[in-house]
Amino acid sequence: MSTSSAASDAAVEAIVAEFRLWLARERGLSAAAMCCYGKQARKFLSWLPDPVDSAVRQLDSTQVTSFMVSYCQDRNISSAKATVTAVRALLRYLHATGQIRVSLAGAVPAVAGWRLASLPRGLDTAVVTALLDSCDRDTIVGRRDHAILMLLARLGLRGAEVADLRLGDVDWRSGEITVRGKGNRLDRLPLPSDVGESMVVYLTAGRPACEARTVFCTARKPYRRLSAAAIRGIMGQACRRAGLERVGAHRFRHTLATEMLRAGASLPEVGQVLRHRSTLATSIYAKVDDNALRVLARPWPIGDRS
């Protein structure tokens, strides 16, 4: 690596570090969210010419739009939208801290994508059972992974929320857990008996004694808390063991929502369990509520065929 390249990398990392601190202070984002924003911001900053500090000061809307168009050209909608969100936040940070003279967030083009264009895809009961049964509960790793998958499947937690679950968040006496959700939101949820039993098995015969205060830790030294990426990896390994195509942990949330609707729960009740901040986030599940949609369907008119 050349000296100039090393200097450029160092400058990029310095901006990303300050950007993440700003996100924590001004937006109250979680560590996982700040990591994602920082990763996307790093791509944009690394695309700028050297020296980066000077390029940032001379940044204009044409450069911003050019990067977004070229970068998102071969990306899927989710990846492109994540980049758009992060780059807009970065540009707001640069303007707020005086590193660019005008706000360029508006120069970031939107990504075409329709919120309700597709159906949320749940998992069949047999698939959920296969994923849970793939964990060898005679091993420490298997007991840990089984408890994690139970939280994902039965409570619809996000991967980052499982990773953030702390020992003090579990109220065994009242049978409740405190979930640390998006935007530092705290919610209390009932702890189903089968989930609690799986967690007890891990905590009493699996979790290592260590300084980490999170429920789930690595199985090998040096013991440390699991990350959201590790939760995704555990889901992927379960799919491989069960002989299934890899699916994300979020599919468990879709599964829980669709099962609740088909059991007669209302959309507001689903939104409460999934801890959605707006009814719009829950509205997509109306498309899989067969019972509610059936009463709206009109019989096809049968005309005179003569």
- List the catalytic residues: 158, 182, 250, 253, 276, 285
Q: What angle do CA 46, 49, 53 make, to 5 degrees?
A: 80
Beta strands in the chain (DSSP E): 170-171, 176-180, 186-190
Distance between CA atoms of residues 109 and 118, nearest Å: 23
Copy the structure tokens of residue 38. 């920082």
